[in-house]
A and B are shown apart, each in its own frame.
Chain A
């Protein structure tokens, strides 16, 4: 209680320091920020509320605060359906494997690029930077994947995007900020580059590694395009493709609505399922992400400033 009081006092006194004109500006700033916060929170609250309302009320009256007819049927139906779990499982497999492969390759490649004495650095740099602005495009890439026999396999998802030039540049910039004394000391002790890299360099780069891991994981978890064009089997679909069927195409998995008699009932239920699906599918990342927040500032700044 006393702690809370003092912080309020401190804040007040700091606010009081500003001259009258500035106070007006501050208040306007807080109002704009408040509007932005509301714009984020309100839709989320709306969807949470709506996901518990029974389908008929939802269709006729929209969201109400009438608590008598609340139901968890949408959640039971979504969670009781196998396909959403298949989606979760596949998304987890793809995202974990992709993160591991891609982070290892990217961190490795960034090390030579960070050394001033690395021969042919310019050559490699040019090769990589060109790919940031120029590419073959959709069809040639698709035909290549097809020729390599990777269609409908996990490799089509994992390999093409595994090396990220952007992340390499960010890791390289971070390495360059590590004192060179460490490197010299290691080479005098006769440590090979591998030993130096894994035993000395990587342990002091945790913020940037955590940041890149998070980017790659979230990026893979949330994408659907590659899976849509390269994977045909329903059993290989990641979560986002399953969600696409439910949310965008309004075609819930058959098992979720098949016990309903009329088409109208099915449509009502399909609508309700969307709300529960949004909540269920977004929860894992939204719960995880605050734990990464402490890395955001240090990690993202490290490379991004120099671009």
Chain B
């Protein structure tokens, strides 16, 4: 039944249109029941706001609305690009995500290799249960725990025998943010690598053992190739999100005193836009952020394609 429809190439246009109409009539459910809700939601909540970025080039006035506000061109962009604060926030964002990637990305891979060394599957399951647990704690509770443990009388100071107030130290913010991120997410993120490792061919491994390969050699020749592709995909995805540092956690870890390191673009956009009501300016900052993100993603994908024999995403 589907065959004549599939052969698109040599069919004349009229016939093709006719075929499509027949297909649509036969399969209307696919469009009207299956696809419509998702499509409508996407258009309304994703694409209409994209049109709304026009605000970035306007002196937006909520009372006059989008159609009657004045255009100001690149004024907002000039304003924040020339302000010293902006450079600081941009660097805070970049440092947080680049260092976060450097420390946070290898952690789950290491965990997966470690988990794979556990010989008893029962123990392994229990260890996994503990490792996954922090993932189910909310950002707010995580930050609450962090604040308690790092308070002058908290557990960390108790162990160190000191009484620093870590939450007020800008130089401690990034470490706190990244370490708590690993604490919460590394176990959960290791699932995907653990599963990829379990796909590593058992025969290959046995052969390696018979050939007298030691653990390091086994990891190099059998286990690493089994997860290499997964690692690459995850890495590209992570780099693609490098500018979208989560608002929720940074905001919940902010204190008046650590603002020098903790004010990042997303928290700045929130404060400027929703708290100060500077809509146009805030949108411009957000747009700038998105554009950097896309440039990073595309260039990263190109690099990986070249390194990986044409395979990107």
A residues with CB within 8 A of B: 7, 10-11, 14-15, 18-19, 21-22, 25-26, 29-30, 32-33, 36-37, 39-43, 46-47, 50, 59, 62-63, 105-106, 108-109, 111-112, 115, 117-119, 124, 127-128, 131, 133-144, 159-163, 168, 187, 192-194, 197, 218, 221-225, 229, 240, 243-244, 246-248, 274-275, 277-278, 281-282, 285-286, 289-290, 293, 296-297, 300-301, 304-305, 307
Count of A-B contacts judged by CB separation below 8 Å: 273
Q: Using C-beta atoms within 8 Å of the partner chain, give the interface range for chain B.
A: 35 or more
User: Taking the nearest CB of chain A, how far is it from the CB of B269, in angstroms?
Assistant: 6
Which residues of A have CB within 8 Å of B273?
A: 138-139, 142
Which residues of A have CB within 8 Å of B264?
A: none
B38 touches A282 (CB 8 A): no
7 additional A-B residue pairs with CB within 8 Å, beyond A139-B274, A163-B41:
A117-B6, A138-B270, A193-B27, A193-B34, A244-B252, A278-B148, A285-B136
Which residues of A have CB within 8 Å of B120?
A: 7, 10-11
User: Taking the nearest CB of chain B, how far is it from the CB of A136, in angstroms?
Assistant: 3
A135 touches B46 (CB 8 A): yes
**Other-chain contact of B52, A25, A140, A224, A248 (Cβ < 8 Å):** A140
The 3 closest A-B pairs by CB, nearest first: A136-B49, A140-B52, A247-B144
- Binary per-residue interface labels of chain B (3-40) against chain A in the complex, 1 for a CB within 8 Å, 0 otherwise: 00110000000000000100110010111011101110
- Please tell me if B88 contacts chain A, counting CB pairs below 8 Å: no
Which residues of B have CB within 8 Å of A11?
A: 119-120
Complex CA–CA separation, A290 to B24 (angstroms): 45
- Binary per-residue interface labels of chain B (135-175) against chain A in the complex, 1 for a CB within 8 Å, 0 otherwise: 01111110111011100011100100000000000000000
Complex CA–CA separation, A131 to B50 (angstroms): 10
- Please tell me if B2 contacts chain A, counting CB pairs below 8 Å: yes
B290 touches A135 (CB 8 A): yes
B149 touches A229 (CB 8 A): no
- Among residues of B, the one whose C-beta sits closest to the C-beta of A18 is B215
Which residues of B have CB within 8 Å of A246?
A: 144
List which B274-288 residues lie within 8 A (CB) of chain A.
274, 279, 282-283, 286-287
A119 touches B33 (CB 8 A): no
- Please tell me if B222 contacts chain A, counting CB pairs below 8 Å: no
B127 touches A33 (CB 8 A): yes
Complex CA–CA separation, A285 to B38 (angstroms): 29
B residues with CB within 8 A of A: 1-2, 5-6, 20, 23-24, 27, 29-31, 33-35, 37-39, 41-42, 44-53, 55, 62, 66, 110-111, 113-115, 117-120, 122, 125, 127-134, 136-141, 143-145, 147-149, 153-155, 158, 183, 186-187, 191-192, 194-196, 214-216, 230, 233, 237, 240, 247-248, 252, 266, 269-270, 273-274, 279, 282-283, 286-287, 289-290, 293-294, 297, 313
Complex CA–CA separation, A115 to B5 (angstroms): 14
B111 touches A36 (CB 8 A): yes
Complex CA–CA separation, A42 to B115 (angstroms): 20
User: Taking the nearest CB of chain A, how far is it from the CB of B308, in angstroms?
Assistant: 14
A47 touches B31 (CB 8 A): no
Q: Which residue, B23, B133, B240, B247, has most C-beta atoms of chain A within 10 A?
A: B133
| 8 contacting pairs across A/B (C-beta < 8 A) | A33-B118, A105-B38, A143-B52, A243-B138, A247-B144, A278-B145, A282-B136, A305-B230
